[in-house]
Amino acid sequence: MHPVKLAIVGGGPSAFYVASRLLSLLPHNDSSSSFLRVHMFDRVWAPHGLVRYGVAPDHPEVRLQNCTHKFDATALDLRFRFFGNVNIGCNGPLSMPSPLSIPLSSLVSNYTHLLFATGCPLPTLHPAIPPSRHCIPALSFVHWYTRHPSRPPPPALDSFTHLTLIGNGNVSLDIARILLTNPSVLEKYDLPEQVLDVLSRSAIKHVSIIGRRGPLQAAFTNKELRELMNLPEASMVPIDPSVLVPPDGVTLTRQQRRTLELLQKGSQQAPGKTPKSWSLEFYRSPTSLTSSSPASPTDMSQLILAHTRVDPVTGRAVPTGETSTLSTSVVVTSLGFRAEPTATFLDPPVNHLRTRAGRILSASGTAIPNVYASGWAANGAKGVLASTMMDAYAVADTILSDITPGPERIQTTAASEYFSNVDSADIMMNPQPHPENPPKEVVQGINDGIVTQYKDWRAVDAEEIRRGEVLGKERERMNWEDAKAFLASHGRG
């Protein structure tokens, strides 16, 4: 077996699942394992991607069960190395600069194989209501309460009485639940003190959740819906019973039946008996958002909503011609995620990388040897952690079939325009790189104290937990400046 040195771009669940699968399928006692090295690069300083910066803080079980423990076990393998604060070949969002940026060609010349597990890091925006002081993406909100390195400003919750969420997926319900839960309940979880301080001053009294289709097409899970239903200090505005009647001839799935039952039953707390409330608005689609001028933080904006119905043939939401107006302090759009427009090998129509069965494709549709993609980068922003794991395992098996000699090996076809959109049509992965070293720029970044390794993360992780214990909570998160100072004071660098 020839030496295999795999570079993984991205440090989230998909990246770790691929690494874990490969390292476990080629265990240390396998004679071929000595030829395998896996180096992982992430733009942000801390690993784990959406597990750290996307999971709701009051859902610690999602991070702990089959995630971070498994990732830590992978990182303990001596054939694995993690490098944080390294941006690879992409300009990225201007709001999230990385301390070190290196071209993709540095990986091409230093590794035999390459995997993109970069996810879909940007929010999908609504064409009718672009971001403004009265309209913010849900991703900014989530990044605020998870202390993401992009550093979005805190929302002016002390000036907002009514918040409207566009989209009814689990992220919307996460945000609604955080806003409608008493901060005294949240303070034991993984919420930074700065976030708890803002939440403690919140003036939010009502949260509207808007969906362009009906309850049968709702994107939330029943688990998330039940959590919202059971909040002790918030009640749901009853839904018009006619909305909960399934169309004639439609056979409901078990999940759909349970959704309708939950919505018909309503919240645990009676409407009008709680300090806060929330509502699910089905068959509504925003068309515009206007605010008074000059605007002040306490102004209410006017959100125009087109009434819709579900086309029985296409399943799409189509306007009925009616409209209504909703007065709201702020709108939060939660419409999913998309790839970066500058991403290498991006297929714009589908908004993810050009792939087939985990292999990156050239512009002409041929598989590029030794170059792969997994997770949202390969498939778009869909699925949960379980489906991400299964996809990652399949991609790892494909990589293994390529690196393991024998009759079962899958062959790829070289592309004439190989890496033509990177630097040169002649660039190819290096079949004989240095067996251990990362690119020289990364080595320098480690020496300069700006590139993190997994041992640095473990030290910060333990310190965050220690600081949290002092405050009686799960952990107290650090930002990069905090982490850098802590690591420097403890002999790192």
Whether 415 has a pLDDT exceeding 50, the answer reads: no
- Which structure tokens are listed for 74? 């992978």
For the chain, the domains span 4-121+338-452, 125-335
Residues 493 and 488: their CA atoms lie apart, in Å, by 6
Would you call the peptide bond into 232 cis, given omega within 30 degrees of 0 as the criterion?
Answer: no
Tell me the mean pLDDT in the region 74-100. 83
Cβ-contact 462, 455 below 8 angstroms = no
* pLDDT for residue 388: 94
pTM of the model: 0.91
- Which structure tokens are listed for 428? 């190819």
DSSP state of 405: -
Sequence length of the chain is: 493
Whether 425 has a pLDDT exceeding 50, the answer reads: no
C-beta atoms surrounding 110 within 10 Å: 22
Place of tokens 């699925």: 383
Tell me the mean pLDDT in the region 109-137. 94
Q: Which of 177, 274, 283 is nearest to 225 (CA)?
A: 177
- Which structure tokens are listed for 164? 């409207």
Torsion of CA 312, 314, 317, 319, to 10 degrees: -80
* pLDDT for residue 423: 36
Residues 57 and 192: their CA atoms lie apart, in Å, by 10
C-beta atoms surrounding 389 within 10 Å: 22
Tell me the mean pLDDT in the region 305-332. 96
Whether 364 has a pLDDT exceeding 70, the answer reads: yes
- Which structure tokens are listed for 175? 């945000």
The edge-to-edge listing of strands for the beta sheet with 301-310 is 284-290, 301-310, 317-328
* pLDDT for residue 176: 98
- What average pLDDT does the chain have? 90
Place of tokens 């590794």: 111
Residues 205 and 183: their CA atoms lie apart, in Å, by 14
Tell me the mean pLDDT in the region 317-321. 97
CATH class, range 125-335: alpha beta
DSSP state of 125: P
> Could you please report the per-residue DSSP string of 45-59?
SSSSTHHHHTS-TT-
* pLDDT for residue 129: 96
Task: Quickly name the fold that domain 4-121+338-452 has.
Answer: Rossmann fold (3.40.50)
Whether 332 has a pLDDT exceeding 50, the answer reads: yes
Residues 451 and 444: their CA atoms lie apart, in Å, by 9
pLDDT band with cut points at 50, 70 and 90 for residue 96: low
* pLDDT for residue 445: 97
Query: Which residues lie below 8 Å from residue 110, measured CB to CB, with a gap of 6+?
Result: 5, 7, 430, 433, 434, 437, 438, 439
Percent of the chain with pLDDT over 90: 79
Q: For strands 113-116 and 367-373, give the pairing.
A: parallel
Whether 294 has a pLDDT exceeding 70, the answer reads: no
Tell me the mean pLDDT in the region 365-375. 94
Whether 138 has a pLDDT exceeding 50, the answer reads: yes
* pLDDT for residue 410: 44
